[in-house]
Amino acid sequence: MVVQTLGMISPLSIMSFLPIAQELTQMGFNPGILLSFFIAERAWDLQSFFIISGLFGIQYAILNGVAIFISLTVTALFLRREFVHFKANEKQVHNGFWKRQSRLLLLVCLGIVLGAILRTFIPEREFQHYAGNPLQGFLISLMLGFLLYFGPIVGNYPVAKAFSDLGMSNVGTFSFLTVSPILNLVVITLFGASIGYKKTLKAFFIYSISAMIMTALFSLLL
């Protein structure tokens, strides 16, 4: 659980560190623990609580963080005996801290712009008709979350707010912020290239099922 906590509050980026994961294991880092850290880092971030609480409220941010933490812990328990091997990557990426923070700011801005575009051009009444239904909103959020990618997870938050303003149900927006950070095509490809697709799909399947259950339970409190 310590690893999950550290990953969730880490300001690092898996985009920067997955390519050098093998070198980190050669330095003595446990591969399984390192994988858990990377998944946790992708699912939440140091800025997540403050951004989500600003957009949706403190209760929403707390429930989102708890749901992700529980899902990460369940995933780690199921994978604790798995052998993990990070593949070598000749193209290592070494980004400085401030460069990564600048990228985060850029992605948040892009997310805000995309959210504004969605808010402006998607017919609100039609979107609300489909996404306002809890089940349909849940399925739509999973589909959009699987296809859309904004780099670090903070780019998702303004888009989720746009979906909410357009009338998406609480189940849908909560799912977009809880399940989709991991159940995403680009993220699956990124991890699959690093540890293999079999282990990636297993880890992400466990996380996704756990996060869906947490979404169903916690959305009742919103």
pLDDT tens-digit profile of 90-120? 554 444 556 655 665 665 576 667 666 766 7
Given a cut of 90, whether residue 21 has pLDDT beyond it is: no
Residue 119's nearest CA partner among 177, 166, 168 is: 166
The answer to whether 83 touches 188, Cβ cutoff 8 Å, is no
What is the percentage of the chain residues whose pLDDT exceeds 90? 33
In this prediction the pTM is: 0.78
Among 62-66, 94-98, 126-130, which is the least confidently predicted range?
94-98
Given a cut of 80, whether residue 88 has pLDDT beyond it is: no
The residues near 218 (Cβ < 8 Å, ≥ 6 apart) are 63, 64, 66, 67, 174
- Would you state the pLDDT for residue 22? 55
- Would you state the pLDDT for residue 62? 95
Q: How far apart are CA 182 and CA 38, in angstroms?
A: 11
Q: What tokens does 61 get?
A: 């941010």
Confidence of residue 67 (pLDDT cuts 50, 70, 90): very high
Interval 179-188 mean pLDDT = 89
- Would you state the pLDDT for residue 44? 85
DSSP 3-state of 147: helix
The residues near 51 (Cβ < 8 Å, ≥ 6 apart) are 108, 154, 157
Given a cut of 50, whether residue 1 has pLDDT beyond it is: yes
Query: What burial class does residue 114 get, using C-beta atoms within 10 Å of its C-beta: 0-12 exposed, 13-18 middle, 19+ buried?
Result: middle
